[in-house]
């Protein structure tokens, strides 16, 4: 258990989806299970369960499981009346774990709808963990036991309840990402896929291309997702999806050796600057993207983009210069490239402009920078040659 909780603490540095998949697998291992299905549902004011959202699976194909479940529901006259299902009613906000075969008599189990579902799934037994959230949303984790294994018991139930209490914050974040908490609307399957894309590093052009949609359609679909999840924008969605250790913001700032800003406003400006920097780096050849094109990809006006960059203590021209400087050093380390070729590749019309830029960045000429870069590599090569000769 201690090892599991240490892992849970470390999961704050992993994306929400990866963290959730890891937790699923570890909970299955904890009670010697074979697979798991998880889903969330919300209860209306009269207590009726509404809007179930199937969202996770470990060790079992979810599509096949859903097909079996639908067929079982159609064939069973009284699923709610099953003696096993009647045990799955949480009291208050406490977690509850119900071992299916152990919660009823052997005779009740043998003739129950839950036993027939287990047979259809090809498993011997199951245990369901229910975590209520704010008295309106419930999270269900159903862990399976393979045939031939011992049935689950209340010792397994106690172990799972203790473990699940430790991952409650992560579960709450996941419920929020599904739109299951008060003030939200549940996402469709397509919208959940869009959330995964929006939480990534690709820009809107790449996302629209993958979805086969126009930028206008993507903007409308994204706005709908933000409204349902009650987040302001893509930036807020990314903050929900990632822990503080591995967000695109903190990774970009860490690469620059900078401290992550404490103020949310400054963090947003850093995020915008990071996205502009990434676009310029990923552009083929010279950083040829113009301010107008970058602003369009970020769905903001040129003036708004310039304001964000200014508040991040940079500018579009400074970021272009930064990317050029990195590429210039990479090219100068290749002795076969002429200075004229490098200047053209970096977007300079004249070699003299390139020379002045190198002088401004380093205080040296292009030839001086190249000599330093090549001489820095030579001792390693010589050492390698001596080592090879001595063998």
pLDDT surpasses 70 at 153: yes
When pLDDT is cut at 50, 70 and 90, the band that residue 390 belongs to is: very low
Cα-based distances in Å from 239 to 233, 244, 298, 342: 10, 8, 17, 39
- Is 196 among the domain residues? yes
**Considering the domain boundaries, does residue 284 fall inside one?**
yes
Residue 196: which CATH number? 1.10.10.10
Q: Which residues of 354-381 are buried (b: 16+ CB within 10 A; e: fewer)?
A: bbebbeeebeeebeebbeeeeeeeeeee
Q: Tell which residue, 335, 327, 379, 314, has the closest CA to residue 357.
A: 327
Do 339 and 368 touch, CB atoms closer than 8 A? no
Distances (CA, A) of 341 to 183, 254, 347, 356: 58, 32, 10, 16
Domain stops at, among 244, 264, 292:
244
How many H helices and E strands in the chain?
19, 5
The residue among 4, 25, 36, 20 whose CA lies nearest residue 241 is: 20
Q: Is residue 391 part of a domain?
A: no
Residue 3 has pLDDT above 80, yes or no: no
Residues 198-213: what's their mean pLDDT?
86
Q: Are residues 137 and 88 in the same domain?
A: yes
In 3-state terms the chain splits into helix, strand, coil percentages (rounded to 5) of: 60, 10, 30
Predicted local confidence at residue 25, as pLDDT: 87
| Structure-model confidence comparison of residues 205 and 109, the more confident one | 109
What's the confidence (pLDDT) of residue 387? 38
Whether the per-residue pLDDT at 11 is higher than 80: the answer is: no
Element (H, E) at 322: helix 316-332
φ and ψ at 98, to 5 degrees? -120, 110
From 197, 218, 244, give the residue that closes a domain: 244
Q: 160 with 284, same domain?
A: no
Within this chain, do residues 240 and 252 fall inside the same structural domain, yes or no? no
CA dihedral 74, 77, 78, 82 (to 10 degrees): -90
Q: 129 with 25, same domain? A: yes
Q: What is the pLDDT of residue 61?
A: 85
The H or E element that residue 138 is part of is strand 137-146
The residue from 292, 314, 336 where one domain ends is 314
> Does 238 map to a domain?
yes
Least confident of 37-41, 142-146, 149-153, 166-170: 166-170
| pLDDT of 332 higher than 60 | yes
- CA-nearest of 259, 188, 199 to 233 is 199
Are residue 115 and residue 193 in the same domain, yes or no? no
Write down the pLDDT at residue 369. 87
Check which CATH number belongs to the domain holding 152 and give it: 3.30.450.80
Query: Is residue 182 assigned to a domain?
Result: no
Residue 204 lies in a domain: yes
CA distance linking residue 365 with residue 71, whole number of Å: 75
Rounded average pLDDT over 124-141: 85
Looking at the structure, tell me whether residues 131 and 227 fall in a common domain: no
Band of the pLDDT at 362, cuts 50, 70, 90?
confident
284 and 136 in a common domain: no
Considering the domain boundaries, does residue 57 fall inside one?
A: yes
Looking at the fold, whether 220 and 271 belong to one and the same domain comes out as no
Measured distance CA(108)–CA(87) in Å, rounded: 13
Dihedral of alpha carbons 70, 75, 77, 78, sign = negative
Domain that residue 220 falls in:
187-244
- Same domain? 99 vs 17: yes
- Let me know whether 56 and 171 are in one domain: yes
Rounded-to-integer distance, Cα 149 and Cα 98, Å: 18
Claim to verify: residue 28 and residue 131 sit in the same structural domain: yes
| DSSP state, residue 258 | P
Q: Band of the pLDDT at 8, cuts 50, 70, 90?
A: low
228 within domain boundaries: yes
Query: How many domains are there within the chain?
Result: 4
The verdict on 47 and 140 lying in the same domain is yes
- How far apart, in whole angstroms, are the C-alpha atoms of residue 3 and residue 187? 34
Is-contact 41 137, C-beta < 8 A? yes
């Amino acid at each position: 258990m201690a090892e599991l909780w240490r892992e849970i603490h470390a999961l704050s540095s992993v994306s929400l989806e990866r963290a959730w998949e890891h937790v699923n697998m570890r909970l299955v291992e904890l009670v010697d299970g074979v697979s798991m299905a998880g889903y969330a549902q919300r209860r209306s004011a009269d207590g009726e369960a509404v809007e179930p959202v199937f969202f996770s699976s470990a060790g079992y194909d979810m599509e096949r499981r859903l097909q079996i479940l639908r067929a079982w529901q159609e064939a069973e006259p009284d699923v709610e009346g099953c003696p096993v299902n009647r045990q799955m009613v949480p009291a208050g906000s406490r977690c509850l774990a119900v071992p299916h075969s152990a919660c009823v008599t052997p005779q009740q189990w043998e003739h129950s709808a839950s036993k027939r579902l287990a047979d259809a799934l090809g498993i011997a037994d199951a245990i369901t963990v229910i975590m209520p959230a704010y008295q309106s949303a419930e999270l269900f984790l159903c862990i399976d036991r393979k045939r031939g294994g011992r049935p689950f018991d209340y010792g397994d139930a106690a172990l799972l309840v203790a473990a699940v209490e430790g991952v409650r914050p992560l579960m709450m974040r996941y419920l929020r990402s599904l739109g299951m908490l008060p003030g939200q609307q549940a996402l469709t399957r397509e919208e959940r896929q869009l959330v995964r894309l929006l939480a990534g590093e690709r820009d809107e052009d790449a996302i629209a291309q993958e979805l086969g949609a126009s930028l206008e359609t993507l903007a409308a679909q994204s706005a709908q997702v933000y409204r349902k999840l009650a987040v302001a924008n893509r930036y807020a969605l990314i903050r929900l999806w990632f822990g503080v250790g591995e967000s695109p913001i903190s990774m970009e700032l860490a690469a620059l050796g900078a401290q992550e800003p404490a103020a949310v406003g400054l963090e947003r400006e850093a995020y915008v600057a990071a996205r502009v920097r990434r676009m310029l780096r990923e552009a083929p050849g010279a950083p040829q993207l113009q301010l107008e094109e970058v602003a369009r990809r970020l769905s903001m006006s040129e003036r708004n983009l310039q304001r964000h960059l200014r508040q991040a203590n940079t500018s579009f021209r400074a970021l272009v210069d930064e990317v050029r400087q990195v590429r210039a050093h990479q090219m100068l380390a290749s002795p076969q490239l002429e200075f004229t070729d490098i200047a053209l590749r970096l977007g300079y019309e004249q070699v003299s402009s390139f020379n002045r830029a190198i002088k401004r960045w380093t205080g040296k000429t292009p030839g001086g920078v190249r000599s330093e870069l090549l001489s820095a590599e030579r001792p390693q090569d010589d050492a390698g040659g001596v080592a090879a000769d001595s063998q």
